[in-house]
Copies of this chain bind each other. A is one copy, B any other.
Amino acid sequence: MERSDCMEKMVAAGIVAEYNPFHNGHAYQIETTRAAGATHIVAVLSGNFVQRGGPACAPKSVRANAAIACGADLVLELPLPYAMATAERFAAGAVGLLGALGCVDVISFGSECGDLALLAKAAEAICSPYCSDYTKNLLESGVTYARARQKAVEQLYGQQIAEVLSSPNNTLAVEYLRQIALQKLRIAPFTVTRGGARHDSGKADGKTASAALLRNLLDLEGIESIAPYVPAPALQIYRAAAAAGRMPFDSHSLNTAVLAHLRMMEKDAFSRLPDISSEGLDNRLHDAVRSSVSLDDLLARTKTKRYTLARIRRLVWHAFLGTDAALMRLPPPYIRVLAFNRRGMELLSAADQTASLPISHSLAKLEAHDDVCARFAQLEARAADLYALGLPGVLPCGSDYTQKISVHG
């Protein structure tokens, strides 16, 4: 096939995901996106640490391979400073990466409402300066940022649009739309209505279950317990990973290490944490560390109506990983490839001409690019070294440099 043919036929769709783990709902989104005309699918995947704050149930390489086995063509890594961040920054990083590829036509995302027009109105609402002023006022009454913003939108734009912001996938969808506008990207939105189990639902529904439920099953009963809810090719990859000691991540394994690290932190180190900005949260966290006897205890002591558990978890894990707060304010400096297949190779060939950032699967190569790349890469490598201590088969340091990329036929 000539490149020109390939380029003419290519309709590349981007999906932002954690696949923690990959399940039937994720497969459905990829199928629907393909059925709507996407010829190539690129997924932007959180690495070893995810947005809810903490380690993923399987290493990024395993989750990337499962995605390729189940219909994605190219998997890119969302660097840690975006992956473990607020929805806004998470979306900024992920959309930024898709934009930087330069050959992505569509962004496909799940949403509870399935109504792009409504999502677009909500995105417009939260972009308005009235809304952010109003949100700031409401924040002072001690609610979470998300709740304050939803209330502001309700006051200013009515209940129907505010309602959109009450569901987690809608909220992320709105952030993608906003980032496309902010970053002035020519990427068309496409939304798949989420069916089956709701996000974070505790119950399975036929062949679908939330990722949260699947993680619980993995924790308590192991790989086979998630078989009904996961596509066969993903299950096969999970089985091989489990046999090799690569998953599931033991969710309690690093808790003592995290607590030990926080107990050793000087008081002023808490105020230098990323995203600590709110008045007093640094003191609150420091005091909670001093009086807590477990990680759950710490979270419970720090939690208020104003700060979500996810936010506190992210703070705690950033403290442990030593994330440089400055990295949270920079755009992604490189595009890291985690896995691809033949069509993914076509995407990469196209990106050769269009990408605005260095692309590689090799962390060492990306690290060598410039100083900012080096700081991102070193954080990623250190996070991988710490993550690797919680796998059934602990890996030596440097695994993020030596990890072979999986090229699928």
Contacts and interface: CB of A to CB of B under 8 A. Distances in A.
Interface in A363-385: 382, 385
Nearest to A394: B293
A138 interface: no
A272 interface: no
Interface in A256-308: 256-257, 259-261, 263-264, 289-294
A393 B293 CA distance: 8
A398 interface: yes
Given A257-B257, A292-B396, A322 B264 contact: yes
A395 interface: yes
Nearest to A253: B256
A320 B292 CA distance: 20
B257 A396 contact: no
Contacts of A397: 263, 289-291
B257 A385 contact: no
A385 B263 contact: yes
Interface in A287-339: 289-294, 320, 322
A260 B263 contact: no
11 contacts: A254-B260, A257-B261, A260-B260, A260-B261, A260-B389, A261-B261, A263-B382, A263-B386, A289-B397, A290-B397, A291-B396
Interface of A: 253-254, 256-257, 259-261, 263-264, 289-294, 320, 322, 382, 385-386, 389-390, 393-398
Give the residue among A259, A291, A398 with the most B Cβ atoms within 10 A. A259
Give the residue among A261, A389, A390, A393 with the most B Cβ atoms within 10 A. A389
Contacts of A263: 382, 385-386, 389, 397
B294 A394 contact: yes
A245 to B, nearest CB: 10
A393 B253 CA distance: 17
A394 to B, nearest CB: 4
A390 to B, nearest CB: 8
Contacts of A264: 322, 382, 385-386
Contacts of A393: 293
Contacts of A254: 256, 260
CB-based closest 5 A-B pairs: A257-B257, A257-B260, A293-B394, A290-B397, A291-B396
A366 B259 CA distance: 27
B293 A396 contact: yes
A322 B264 CA distance: 9
Nearest to A320: B260
A396 B289 CA distance: 8
A290 B398 contact: yes
A319 to B, nearest CB: 12
Contacts of A253: 256
A389 B260 CA distance: 7
